[in-house]
Amino acid sequence: MSTQALLDFVLTLDRLKTVERRTSPAGLDRRENSAEHSWHGALCALLLEGECAFPVDAKRAALLLLMHDVPEIECGDTFAYAAARDGAAAAEALGLQHLLATLPVHTGDGLRALWEEFTACVTPEARYANALDRVMPLLHNIAHGGKVWRENGVSLEQIMARNGFIAEVLPRIWQIVWPQIETVYAGAKNDA
């Protein structure tokens, strides 16, 4: 594989900046893109390692967070509370296969392994990365008064079902965030 082919792949990764998510970064009125989300998650993995309930390799978790949304270049972001979320993993697997096809086998296999580890959510690093991946949108929703939840009819039960996992992995963070979610959700519901 030529160096040019690797540079072409690097530019392809730049397209992650065009994938719009539902949440807005704190203090901004525009939507976050998936590249921002992945970058933010990787930094959180390095910063919040001491909050994890079990030993974890924060650098590996950061790699998982950087890789987990790459398939969205091909298939877009699926809203966390979307009814059609079940097919998202299959679409992402196919998108990832397409994206990695031009890379040397060992490089592609290594990147695919990171995505698969994150998706399986079994290793300590994948559990930590998945919890952080859920914390960030919660913080955005709190910062914006529950706007995305209100706009999409997301119930408090749905929020708990999707995010209760955080309590196992980041218990101190959950103890801080959950009461804020309840407060913001109650306020958002009253504003509707």
Model pLDDT, residue 24: 66
CATH number at residue 136: 1.10.3210.10
- The 10s digit of each residue's pLDDT in 54-109 is 999 999 999 999 999 999 998 878 777 776 666 778 888 899 999 999 888 888 99
Q: What is the pTM of this model?
A: 0.92
The count of structural domains within the chain is: 1
What Å distances lie between residue 170 and 45, 130, 189, CA to CA? 11, 11, 27
Q: How much is the average pLDDT of 29-37?
A: 85
Q: How much is the average pLDDT of 133-144?
A: 92
Residue 59 is inside which H or E element, if any?
A: helix 58-67
Q: Which domain holds residue 63?
A: 3-191
Three-state secondary-structure class, residue 118: helix
pLDDT higher than threshold 60 for residue 1:
no
Q: Residue 33 — φ and ψ, nearest 5°? A: -105, 165
